Each structure stands twice: as C-alpha cells, then as structure tokens.
Amino acid sequence: MPIKKKRISPRQKMINLMYLVLLAMLALNVSSDVLNGFSLVADGLKKSTENASKSNMGIYSTFEQQMKSNPAKVKEWYEKAQYVRGMSDSLYNLAEELKEAIVRKSDGKDADVDNIQNREDLEASTQVMLAPGTGRGKELYNAINSYRERIVKMVTDKEKREIIASNLATEVPTKAKILGKNWQEYSFENVPTVAAATLLTKLQNDVRYAEGEVLHNLISNVDVKDIRVNQLNAYVIPNAVTVVQGGRFSAQIIMAAVDTTRRPTIYIGGRQIQSDKGYYETVCSKTGDFTFSGYIEMLNGSGEKVRRDFSQKYSVVAPSATVSADIMNVLYAGYDNPMSVSVPGIPSSKLRVSMTGGSFEQKGEGKYIARPTTPGTEAVITVSAESEGRVQEMGKFTFRVRKLPDPTAFIAYAAEGGGEEHFTGGGLSKQILMGTEGIGAAIDDGLLNIAFRVNSFEMLLFDAMGNAVPYKSNGNKFSDQQKAQMRGLARNKHLFIRDIHATGPDGIERTLNGVMEVIIK
C-alpha cells in the first residue's frame, strides 16, 4: 500500500521560505571579523589535534616495544589498539578528504585548506555534502555514528564515555527538526567554506581525543614495568609438606605477584633449577624433617635484578595405611564383611586395594566389602596408592577367616510399645504363642546382626502318660498339627523346640545346639 505524503500548508511553505531568505541575508552580511574568528578556531583545533596525535603515537610506540619484548602478554591489547587505530584513521581521513573537497570547490584545484581564499563561499559545502546523488553528507553521518557506537564500548570510565558520545553526537536541534532538516543539512547547507572546514577539523580533534582515551585504557592493562608492586617476596607452594618415603616432594616457587608470561631464575643449593614454570622436585629416600632453601631472581622494568631468598620445611614419613574391619579383627567366610581403608594424605580415589582368598569390592568413600571364601585360612589385604604417576605399595594386612558362629533361635512377636520382641525361652502367654507363625534364628550379639533361614525344627510335648511325642515342621512356620497341639495346652504346661536346622548367608546349613523351652502362662 503506497505511503501518502503529508501535504505542507501554504502557511508552512511561507515560514520555510522566510527561513531560507533569512539565512541568505545573514550569510551575505557575515563580517570579515567573524570569518577570521573561524580561522583562529581552526588553527587552535589543529594544534590540539596535533598534540593528541603525538600522544597517541607515543602509546602506539610503547605497544610496539612491549610486543617485541613480551608478545604473549601484550598481544591481546596490541591487537585491540591496532583495531582502534584503523577505525580512527578511517574517520579522520574521511574528514580530511571532505575538507579538501570543499576548499577545492571554493578556491579551485590549487586550493590550500590551511589558507582558504573564498572563506565566505556558501555554495561549496552545500554542493560537496548535499548535492543530489553525489553529496557525501550521508556518508559522513553514517561513519560518525558507526565510529561512536564502537569506540564508546571500549571506554570503561562512564564520565569519559559520555563526553565522547556528546562530542560525536549527530542529533540536530529542535528548531532544525521543525524545519525538516537532517544532520548533514543542518551542518553544511549554506555554510561558509571556512565554517565547514572548521567543523570537519573539530571532528578530527574529537576522533583523536576518543582514540587517546581508549588507548590509555588499553595500555593500563599491560604492566609496562613488569614489576609494579610496593613489596616483593619469594614464596614456595608445595604440593604437600608430608611425603611418603620413596615418594616425591614437589613445590612451586614464585615471586609475588607472579607474571605467567615472564619466569624468574631460581637457585637451590647454589644451582639453578631448570623449570620454566618454577616447579622443583626431588626424590625423598629418607624419613625425617628437612629444609630446602635458595633464592629467586628477576629483572624489573628498568633492567635491575631483584633477588629474594626463600626456605621451606617438609617431612618425610614411612609408608602407612589403615585397614580395619568395621565389626572385629576377623573376617567371616561367605559373608559381606564391611571394611574401612584409608591412607593419610591420599584420597580414596587414588587407592588400589586387593585381597587373597576372596573378593574385595569398594562400596563408597573409603568403604569396602570383603568376602573371603574358606574358613580356617588367612586373607591378606594389600593397599597401594597412586601418586605422581606411579603406584606405590602402602602396606599388607592379614586377617583370620572364620566360619560364622551359630545363631540363636527365637520366637518373634509384636511388643506392646511397637516393634518386635524375640522370645528365646521361659514363660510365654498362650495368646502370644498362638499369635506367632513360627520361629526364626539370628546372630545378634552386639557386633554382628545376621539373620539365618530356618529350614526345619521339631516340637516336643509330653502326654498324660509322660511319653515324649515329637511333631516335625518342614520350614520355619508352625505346622497345622503343631498349632493344634499348642491350642490344647493348659497353663504351666511345657513344650520344647529342638533339632533346629538353619542356613546362614554363607550357604552352610547347621543344626543348632540346645533346646528352647516354652512354659504356657
């Protein structure tokens, strides 16, 4: 859908025409004093621009020198400085090119921007900057906006950022907007040649100022003197001050503050160590307390040698490890024996643990399960540690392997306050007895808590003649026949549970010694 242009009223046309006539009248009456004033301002801006350019070139020269002496450290900031240089020169040269074009349009091919003849010419800037199809005002407008947006992002100081943005602003006053003028029309339409040249000279000065602010910010990121602290000390940073015999002592030796791109020279025992990162390492073959000492040297920005002495104490201990059975000092065959393994100063992830005569499996941080297979033998647990790229044995530990002890049989029933009670013999109410399902067996001696599976048991009763009558159960539950006999028992009658066969987690079935006597209450 075509856009309809807003029609201008006759009154507005008259106002615009009167504004143009007024500008023309003002231009015709510009005095030589005013034109001379523009020339004086231009001369001042040129000197200011020259001084800023010299200052900027000094910073570029510093970057060049530092880049040669320490490229690893300076490269990032050097490349940013070159980026600033490129875009600043581009806008500066564009302003110079337009200034020369305007002056040539005014004075001819032999024109000199430093000595303008037709200073009052109102046509030259208009034709060069605003001529339909060939005018370069829009090009300059876009170049200023692009430069401003990029350069202010590289200035960290908020106040300076605002100054640069203001200097390079391309907004027009409100009165110019009312008349429908854009920035290039406002700046160059019917403007005397000397004023247009001065405006472009001011732009060049603003560019060099912005360039300098960014360069000062960039150079501050490079430690030009290499060492700029008020106190220097040598430091030794050991990986550990306690070393296992046969292991290695290693430490990093630095001068604070450290510069990762320039390494100092380090001497220990009068001999220079060959390490580009300040690492020192020696084999520790004896146990005891030791001290190593030396000095560190480094050149400052003035080429002076700075020296600091250092010393470091460390201890060498014999290999040691701790292996403990969480239950007792023996292992039970066929059972998952919980174990704890640790080596002082060594993380559990660096330990290598093995066992003879069974399996040894890690279950957590420093926690293991030992499962020996044969009772009556010995299980040997070997602990090794990975350190400095090699594996070193830390110790061997021997445990006796025993068969799990026999469990104790019991009748389980619900306690009054909740939980479960285990009845192992004595008086028991008939109501509780009839509410139970069978018998269980377990080792529960305060150290071990191991459940067994009851395979069968026998219940023995005495009849009226005093004869012992056995009743067999194939499992851990009371049979229907056994339940029937218990139901008929009177108070103070006795029954006996014996010949209990049970199997533990080791897979061995055993016949429990002893008899459980139950007195009906």
Query: Based on the domain organization, do 326 and 295 belong to the same domain?
Result: no
Task: Give the structural domain span for 209.
Answer: 23-219
Q: Does any domain span residue 7? A: no
Query: Based on the domain organization, do 309 and 328 belong to the same domain?
Result: no
Query: Based on the domain organization, do 431 and 475 belong to the same domain?
Result: yes
State the burial class of residue 156 (Cβ atoms within 10 Å of its Cβ: 0-12, 13-18, 19+): exposed
Burial profile 327-340: b = 16 or more Cβ within 10 angstroms, e = fewer:
beeebbbbbebebe
- Tokens for 359, please give them: 């399996």
Give the number of domains in the chain: 4
Q: Does any domain span residue 482? A: yes
Burial profile 27-38: b = 16 or more Cβ within 10 angstroms, e = fewer:
eeebeeeebeeb
pLDDT of the chain, 521 residues: tens digit per residue: 333 333 444 544 454 454 444 444 444 445 555 556 566 666 777 888 888 889 999 999 988 988 888 888 888 889 999 999 999 999 999 989 999 999 898 888 888 888 888 888 888 889 999 999 899 989 999 999 999 999 999 988 888 889 899 889 888 877 666 677 888 888 888 888 888 888 898 889 899 999 999 998 888 777 544 444 445 667 667 666 556 666 676 777 776 665 665 677 888 888 888 876 677 787 877 766 778 788 888 776 545 677 888 887 766 766 666 666 655 678 999 899 998 888 877 778 888 999 999 999 999 888 999 999 999 999 999 999 887 678 888 888 999 999 988 999 999 998 887 788 889 999 999 889 999 999 999 988 767 788 999 999 999 998 878 888 999 999 999 999 999 999 988 899 999 999 999 999 888 899 998 899 999 98
Local structure of residue 489 (DSSP, 8 states): P
Run of H or E including 17? helix 10-28
Query: Based on the domain organization, do 161 and 148 belong to the same domain?
Result: yes
Query: Based on the domain organization, do 390 and 492 belong to the same domain?
Result: no
Q: Does any domain span residue 15? A: no
Query: Based on the domain organization, do 330 and 377 belong to the same domain?
Result: yes
Say whether pTM exceeds 0.95: no
Burial profile 72-91: b = 16 or more Cβ within 10 angstroms, e = fewer:
ebbeebbebbeebbebbeeb
Query: Based on the domain organization, do 506 and 444 belong to the same domain?
Result: yes
Q: Does any domain span residue 6? A: no
* Phi-psi group of 466: left, alpha or beta (phi > 0 → left; psi -120 to 50 → alpha; rest → beta): left
Query: Based on the domain organization, do 152 and 279 belong to the same domain?
Result: no
